[in-house]
Structure 1
């Protein structure tokens, strides 16, 4: 039977699918066969995860951000290594259950040889972004899927892995591939930043508003002027692939010497001329570990910037005070315990800003010059969390890195350790963490000696830890150890400073490299939305809206908002509608009177009033605003 390649595909895409089907046939696969469903054991997967440690570490936060943008779309995100082995996945529970049936989970291999034409395997074979939809999959068992994958290249241009979004074919969205591509670029840029810490980094673009965005080129040089690495945007702007760029120098590409550019390093962009004659705007960063000879050739301004000496001009906590009384109270309470060796426990719904508050606490603490190390206890696989937290010594287990690895706890020494979603930490790890907090020493796996550690502890959870303790899922002694000061962030729908929050996000993020303004109609819609994803959802909505702006447009209007966001708002409004009363009284007036009476009866307690009326606090606040 001839597979449907898809008449709507572009010719190049059609050829990619056709060639993949031909390869699938040469692998001995046939469309009605049962796919290979074997998965690696936990120990085998742990070894593979360790082999891809850098990829996994830098992809994980990007995957979480991407998932916040596609949540509730009946889909999942998968990260694989270069062979197509799924290292980690996360997604909607309803779709994950279906994905399990076709082994679309960690430990399964999705190369073309195992699964025929599919986005992951075909991306590996073609080394390009690929979407495979419905019956474009070679095997019938996978026809219910729609998949979009991008290759992730390491800083040397080699295939490191694949990032994939897979969902039900009925929920296909054209914008999915754009989101996956952006996320893949973010991972590659993070890999470059971690691999080349020393030397001189140039971020450039012909349009200054694109500096600081995914559109900017990034080129890294050693202090002799030899090119070490360039991201995909840099390769495109310079007109050379990475293999050819490696033979180039700073002078041949940008026409400047190392010492001259070090003198330009700092916050202000400079103008450079590429070897092609194109003028670009560039920001120059120099790592702190400059050699003495290079230091001697730079002026005072360059040296100051090189060692990254910058005065903090604003308080992180003060920046969170944007007019909401609940937030102001939280900030005031937190300020009283900073620097007093009292652990802080932050509660609140997903996306309410727990990590934002933790970073602000670190910024205002006496330890602000030290590291801020964040660990998401819920997203780390159970097989990896021990080595990630505590580290391991040389030869601690099969497949371990030759020189061992420093754990997150030791990395936080002298700074702040932020344990997010601590309520999801496995019980065995809770026991080890308790010992660290009691004795202030950490013992890496396989190490003969423990090492002392000193850090400020901030934890967060969207779960009710007291209930977890009662259920036997969280140690009571650990709960009291981490619960020095407990604060709970309000949901975004309950805050009274929405306009100020929007302005702060836009000001800090500078989405798409530009400062934008928000139409009043958009702010009116924002005020009516329940915001189940809280600040994270708001940031993603603004980011997507900015991506919809045309060139030079800086005003976000309703038509720029994501369609699913508008649909979600429409569903909420529809659910609140009821037929008008038979009498002449307005329903809204009757409701307002009932709500006011209930609120008065409960002494102004919003939570108690909502429970008495049988509605959510979000709905109650919305009715109070009517």
Structure 2
């Protein structure tokens, strides 16, 4: 019989680096509990159920996923009926937002934490299936004494991650028993069932969100391709990856020798980088052809049967017209469907008090979007912007929180109101929040949690009421995983996320270019065709800010009211060299920028593929290896 003291001693052995007879993922979780979460295996802790108002918030944020997952959960529950299993759907914070179990055991289940609102994050509950699954990102079983906390050792829990279409962990599906057979292997079937259900929920979610894109589904067996595929990806009209299931991410990553844990390496890339497939090949992979003939090869040689599903509509129709969007947000983009959808989402969020995280590359206009959200919020207070990367670390505390007279050497005799307090009644914009030092993250968390600020040198806090919008070009979720950003602060800032596309991916590029040209020339200048092609061929690592600088230079140099290719900054035309006439050189630049993908070059230029082919022959252009 394995006693409580034996359990504690085994965890302590693992903590000293001594061998123990446990799965590797269990040992890693124990070590995180000891070293990172600072939990004590001798200190037992009962299951924690979040308060009702907080549970309501978690369920509201997960409402779409719950609706999509419900039929899958009910099907799984029917499969294990009569075996006393409990099903939990937890969000990415480990809070149970959906629950299926026998109501006769409700009291026992609630006490054990197998209930709606139970929080199974690893830092709170120790090693458990949900918490370890969130940390590892893989399906696993935590059986009886695998649990860190002795309170949970009667349980046997099996969990699988559910990823959203952008490769981020969004939920965990758990199937648990209050008591179980001794052998851990008895849960192998549960592991298979929960994995299969998570896969189907991911696929349903992808299909719901990718109605206007191509969807490519995969299977190792042609017999199951159309009825129960193993993985899927979604592809936009330019042939680039815009969504994927967890299995799809692994197929893509393996094909290119990448890490599936970093979805940024996969999303936005042409599908031809991973598979021997172009966007124009997808119609040949629909059900019009026999299943066994729909075979594709990954770049690593892997053979897969594929089923392509056509978009419902070639042009995505936004839920609202552009005229319904408030003017401050409307000024941020043209009428491209994905931009209008982003503006409409921002307009709805602006009217709430929810904290918003804006993600996007440097120069994509994150602060402009934040200001537009403030203008559309109806708040009476100021918009106060703080660049967390620009303020010296030794000054950032006094800048944010303010200080009393004489609080430190060099302080103003009158003291100073901090930037957070200046935003009282308005919007606090935290730009490059990912660069905020950890010690200040703790103080900011307190401000957000308690609604009060404590100036340097003060003993009595001051109440503040602020709307927080933050932004970062760095993936905050990855920083959390690396321990560089507080997880609790991340969830405080990230009630809703708005992702700004890179300029090279914006289908309203022409609108952006025209607006910037108007601003710099007052409508006096036009662009030659060669100049437009050179601008479209550039990758724009600096995004809109870089384009703005380029147009400013061209406006200063242009003569006779037309911007020619020679008026552009050298970085945009230097690759052309002596490439013949300007049009030929610009087309050459575009083809290089698109890795000689004719379909992509034609899309960017707004031309037919046949026209591009004719121009390639006319100017005798060839790939440069």
| Higher RCO (CA-CA < 8 Å; seq separation 6+) | 1
User: TM-score, length-normalised on structure 1?
Assistant: 0.43
